[in-house]
A and B are shown apart, each in its own frame.
Chain A
Amino acid sequence: AQTVTQSQPEMSVQDAETVTLSCTYDTSENNYYLFWYKQPPSRQMILVIRQEAYKQQNATENRFSVNFQKAAKSFSLKISDSQLGDTAMYFCAYGSGNTGKLIFGQGTTLQVKP
């Protein structure tokens, strides 16, 4: 069975600085996708970034980028130039290419401080 682990329950960062959120996963599948979702206090689940496992190039989306280490089964999220609006819980998710199921980590609460 696939698992997703986020080892940092809480993190904080000063605005305008950079922060990295960690995520590791375990799988025996070759076909899968990885996602980071953001859940602000409003409760919405917002897609931040996605990565196809077959791609070596790390995905980037404006201030958000990932460091995908396939052999290590690691998928960290880097937020550059942090903004107050980035304050939220961040979930790493594994998407099986075979079943389509999303498996979520327990989440990391990020607080951006002014």
Chain B
Amino acid sequence: DAGVIQSPRHEVTEMGQEVTLRCKPISGHDYLFWYRQTMMRGLELLIYFNNNVPIDDSGMPEDRFSAKMPNASFSTLKIQPSEPRDSAVYFCASSAQLSNQPQHFGDGTRLSIL
């Protein structure tokens, strides 16, 4: 079975541009998570969905960030407008259950905002 698929793998863009990161979870997984990894703050949970519905977005840093899950096989994380401090690796993960099943991570998107 295919794992979590993220695209693009790398993204370089200029400050002020809109950035869209994409994720396809593992089929049958009801939970989808977006994380951000930086040297300073480590791995942080941004938002997670259950059955396509956002459950907890308390980790989203500010209104410039938004996430959607229009169906069970696709989610996006959007940053508009982007800023240099948004540069990080963004991971998507999915799991079959909320807590007693491990989260499976995608390969991440390395985002660089110039």
| Interface positions of A (Cβ within 8 A of B) | 31-33, 35, 37, 42-47, 50, 52, 91, 95-107
A100 touches B48 (CB 8 A): yes
B98 contacts partner chain A, Cβ-Cβ < 8 Å: yes
Residue of B nearest to A35 (CB): B102
Q: B53 within 8 Å of A by Cβ?
A: no
* Alpha-carbon gap, A94 to B33, bound state (A): 15
Q: Is B103 an interface residue (CB 8 A)?
A: yes
Question: Is the CB–CB distance between B31 and A100 below 8 Å?
Answer: yes
Tell which of B21-29, B61-69, B76-84, B104-112 binds the partner.
B104-112
Chain B residues near A100 (CB-CB < 8 A): 31, 48, 98-99
Query: Closest chain B residue to A44 by CB distance?
Result: B107
Residues of B within 8 A of A37 (CB): 105
Most buried by B among A31, A96, A100: A100
- Chain B residue numbers with a CB within 8 Å of A42 are 107
